[in-house]
Amino acid sequence: MLSHATRTIGAIAGLLGIAACSVFGGAAAPESEYDVVLSEPPFELRDYGELVVAKTPMTDGSSTAFGRLFDYISGANGGARDIAMTAPVLNTESADGAKIAMTAPVLQDREGARNMIFVLPEGLTPQTAPVPTDARVSLTTIPPRRVAVVRYSGFLTRRVSIEEARLHDWLARKGLRATGPAEIAGYNPPWTLPPYRRNEVLIPVERD
């Protein structure tokens, strides 16, 4: 079992008609960019840059938290401007909000007070992103980091303990030291057939 401090990343859950996806896979939104330092499938070592995120507490449940964040990126903000993305491009729908594109995956932070986190598109900062109209949604950053990753298919949570153990074994073989708790990531909408889903366990590690 993952520890209470383990962060989990919730399924991308219908991000939502923003981009079409088949039952055979396909992420619902563009991914955060990263550099692959080492690839030994199903394992990878990646470097992520700083991520700008919107987060909200999960005290009233994951579905409600997800809904608040989705409302934020759908216009529950003080933006009133267009925010262009490579795919898709979404325009301001009304004077009281700007619709914001999303990147994958969606994170649920379980360290201390539990929060759900959406990664915002590249180019936005906490200062330039539209201000949430719901005070329970806040903007912040995740600093640059290196993570070790193992990829698997099927349902997101059923193999978490097994895959985390495999990833720790790989870290030991490579002489890599974990610097934080494990995370799990889901990249596909819920209608994707389990064999075609992309799930990952990620563990932040010390840089050389």
What does the alpha-carbon distance between residue 40 and residue 53 come to, in Å, rounded to a whole number? 29
Mean pLDDT, the chain, rounded, equals 73
pLDDT tops 80 at residue 153: yes
Say how far apart CA 100 and CA 84 lie, in whole Å.
8
Tell me the CA distances in angstroms from 74 to 33, 87, 141, one per residue in order. 22, 16, 20
Q: How far apart are CA 181 and CA 188, in angstroms?
A: 23
Q: What is the dihedral of CA 127, 131, 132, 136, to 10 degrees?
A: 50
Where are the chain's structural domains? 34-205
Instruction: Out of 42-46, 121-125, 156-160, pick the least confident.
Output: 156-160
Report residue 186's pLDDT band, with 50, 70 and 90 as the boundaries: confident
Q: Encoding tokens for residue 172? A: 């030991």
- Residue 173 DSSP class: H
Highest mean pLDDT among 36-50, 117-131, 146-160 belongs to 36-50
Q: Which residue has the higher pLDDT, 69 or 205?
A: 205
| Residue-level pLDDT at 89 | 20
pLDDT band at 24 (very low <50, low <70, confident <90, very high): low
Domain 34-205: CATH superfamily is: Regulatory factor, effector binding domain (3.20.80.10)
0.75 exceeded by pTM: no
Q: Dihedrals φ, ψ of 117, to 5°?
A: -130, 130
Residue 189 has pLDDT above 70, yes or no: no
pLDDT band (50, 70, 90) for residue 10: very low
Most confident range (mean pLDDT) of 96-110, 117-131, 158-172 is 158-172
pLDDT of residue 29: 60
Place 81 in a pLDDT band, splitting at 50, 70 and 90.
Answer: very low
